[in-house]
Chains A and B, each alone.
Chain A
Amino acid sequence: MKQTRSKIAFTPESQESLSMTGKPVLHYLNGRGRMESIRWLLAAAGVEFEEKLFENREEFEKLIQGGTLMYGQVPMVEMDGMNLVQTRAILRYIAAKYGLYGRNLEEQAWIDMYVEGLRDLSDMIMFLPLSLPEEKEMNHDYVLHRAMTRFFPVYEKALRDNKQHYLVGNRLSWADVQLLEVILMAEECKASVLSGFPHLQDFKVRTSQIPTINRFLQPGSQRKPPLDAESLGIAKDIFKFEQGMFLKNMSTVVAEY
């Protein structure tokens, strides 16, 4: 799906007016990365948000020097008077605020388990473009194998066993939103990845039709396209990570440990 890339003009006036609208302001580069789950969750909750997307290393350094990044890292979301950093902290805050985090401690625990599993899988998919060329195909196969044998069966079983349209508590939660996001990411790697998972296929169709989510899936929304070679180059320049670095660690740390 081709997305148009909108560039926000950072004049002093527009910066003031952005923070005064009361909408959350997302700070990241112009791409999915670790911010995409946050975009999904806000969108699913029907929350309008603004974005300040940096295009190069200099703009990122300016943000760091501004002192709003607790660890010098993004994602960062300005929301309710806070400069929130750390993806999970941000997601949890949004989920709780908009009633997407279950109704009791037990439901919270199930949601946490489900989203943590999805985070492990989505990190692996996210870091695939950073594979060394000679490892690309092997990593690709490994991640898809993991998706289809370790992760998807869990969610398929959950939907099958609880006979509901949602993973937890018979209503939409953070876990459902993230599951849809990860299903779509996996399908971008291999279109037939859901074959053998009828409940996930059904889930995908139904959840995509939820009005707020459906809107987010339309062209022109704030959803970002998959990484291409050019954006990967920009991301590497901004964040200064080396190719091959992550997936070496991923397979030891995330997968088997």
Chain B
Amino acid sequence: MAGKPVLHYFKGRGRMECIRWLLAAAGVEFEEKFLDSPEDLEKLAKDGSLMFQQVPMVEIDGMRLVQTRAILNYIATKYNLYGKDAKERALIDMYTEGILDLTEIMLQVVISPPDQREAKISLLKDKTKNRYLPAYEKVLKSHGQDYLVGNRLTRVDIHLLEVLLYVEELDSSLLAPFPLLKALKSRISSLPNVKKFLQPGSQRNPPVNAKQIEEARKIFKF
């Protein structure tokens, strides 16, 4: 009996958004149970549903998966978005881990105390334009193909599109020196499942606002 995956998180991007993106890109319908209060998280933890008392948690195929990477790996493998062999997987992993590092820096900005924000934004912009975007532009340049790995869509194209949209939200001029990344952004955005996810009314979350950060602080106690 295969029901839809159920995502447990608060109603915001955080560490669940990349999972929403991947499921959507794979054309997989999913449900969400939102944590609205610290009590909701405590209840889930006390239930024994959370291996490390943390979310994201995704109920899928009779399992309660936790840990963002474990969840992403499972979905990517199940829906054939993880390359055709070990070497492609290695490239996908190398590129994905860099994207996750960049996303982590963005998350740090979101949750940082006000007096540290400016410094962290500066660091984020620096790493984006000097470390990460050049690395992915170089990959695309090296093979001239439409996708990052193996000349077909894999998970890392989705992860990259997601982070490029965040870079654009931060400062659209950051993308200017990277023509191949801009082209990839357009191409992947036009894929039917992705296009649908980008429409208003999908399960995609908007940038976090101050109120959401406060809610998240209460639920996650940071």
Binding site for B on A (CB under 8 A): 70-72, 80, 82, 84-89, 92-93, 96-97, 105-106, 108-109, 112-113, 116-117, 120, 150-151, 154, 249, 252-253, 256-257
Contacts and interface: CB of A to CB of B under 8 A. Distances in A.
Given A85-B94, A88-B97, A93-B86, A108 B74 contact: yes
Interface of B: 14-15, 51-54, 61, 63, 65-70, 73-74, 77-78, 86-87, 89-91, 93-94, 96-98, 101, 104, 107-108, 111, 131-132, 135, 220-222
Contacts of B93: 86, 88-89, 92-93
Nearest to A111: B70
A13 B215 CA distance: 60
A112 B74 contact: yes
B105 to A, nearest CB: 10
Given A86-B97, A253-B111, A92 B70 contact: no
Contacts, number: 91
A256 B10 CA distance: 14
Given A113-B70, A150-B52, A93 B77 contact: no
A97 B86 contact: yes
Given A112-B73, A253-B104, 10 more contacts: A71-B132, A80-B87, A82-B91, A89-B94, A92-B89, A105-B74, A108-B73, A257-B14, A257-B54, A257-B220
A253 B221 CA distance: 11
Q: Is the interface of A mostly helix, strand, loop or mixed?
A: helix
B87 A82 contact: yes
B77 A108 contact: yes
A150 to B, nearest CB: 6
A118 to B, nearest CB: 10
B221 A82 contact: no
A100 to B, nearest CB: 13
Given A117-B51, A154-B51, A249-B108, A71 B135 contact: yes
A253 B107 contact: yes
A117 B42 CA distance: 19
B111 A116 contact: no
Contacts of B66: 113
A56 to B, nearest CB: 22
5 contacts: A85-B94, A89-B90, A89-B96, A93-B86, A113-B65
A85 B15 CA distance: 23
A159 to B, nearest CB: 14
A99 B132 CA distance: 32
Contact of A109 (B63, B87, B101, B107): B63
Contacts of A82: 87, 90-91
Contacts of A80: 87
Given A82-B90, A93-B86, A257 B69 contact: no
Nearest to B52: A117
Contacts of A89: 90, 93-94, 96-97
A117 B104 CA distance: 17
Nearest to A93: B90
A88 B104 CA distance: 15
Given A70-B135, A93-B90, A96-B89, A256 B69 contact: no
